[in-house]
């Protein structure tokens, strides 16, 4: 019985960490190198600047942050929870999209926009009740390297729905 319990614990832990672990699409940086990045969250948008807007992509119209970077939702995050499930190690690869205000401005997004308490005392933006993130390997506007990582990370469309297409 003890062996079964141990196996179940190890298997559960592995599944939980799968969504935040590096894979072929990650930068390959070790956690030590990644922690040298200035912060575990995206730069907060100014109170009067649009935090989210839309952009055209090969997969249709998607949501991007104020800098034009693709935003993603994390499948394990529960809708309308008070916090995202992406922990500190996960946030090194998936910075939270944050705001300096709990009433962020959006353009072209026809979804329920709200905030939850984010990392480091910020407000993390939620779209249709799910926190949104950026991906560390997306370097310039238009990059979508986080799409379908681990089959857990998904871009969102202008209505705030996950985009499950990959090509």
Q: What is the pLDDT of residue 122?
A: 86
Q: What is the pLDDT of residue 42?
A: 54
Structural domain harbouring 61: 2-155
Q: Is residue 161 part of a domain?
A: no
What is d(CA 17, CA 86) in angstroms, rounded to the nearest whole number? Answer: 10
Percent of all residues in the chain with a pLDDT value above 70, rounded to a whole number: 71
User: Is the separation of the CB atoms in 45 and 104 below 8 Å?
Assistant: yes
User: Average pLDDT, whole number, for the chain?
Assistant: 79
Residue 48 has pLDDT above 90, yes or no: no
Q: Is residue 162 part of a domain?
A: no
The domain total for the chain is 1
Q: Is residue 122 part of a domain?
A: yes
Q: Is residue 166 part of a domain?
A: no
């Amino acid at each position: 019985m003890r062996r079964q319990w141990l196996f179940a614990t190890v298997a559960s832990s592995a599944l939980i960490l799968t969504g935040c672990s590096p894979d072929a699409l990650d930068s390959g940086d070790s956690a030590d190198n990644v922690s040298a990045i200035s912060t575990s969250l995206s730069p907060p948008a100014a109170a009067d600047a649009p935090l989210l807007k839309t952009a055209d992509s090969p997969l249709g119209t998607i949501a991007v942050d104020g800098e034009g970077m693709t935003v993603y939702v994390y499948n394990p995050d529960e809708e309308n929870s008070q916090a995202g499930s992406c922990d500190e190690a996960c946030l090194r690869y998936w910075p939270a999209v944050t705001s300096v205000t709990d009433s962020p401005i959006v353009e072209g997004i026809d979804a329920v926009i709200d905030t939850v308490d984010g990392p480091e005392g910020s407000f993390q933006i939620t779209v249709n009740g799910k926190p949104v993130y950026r991906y560390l390997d997306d370097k310039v506007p238009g990059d979508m390297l986080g799409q379908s990582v681990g089959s857990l990370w998904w871009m969102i469309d202008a209505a705030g729905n996950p985009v499950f297409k990959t090509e």
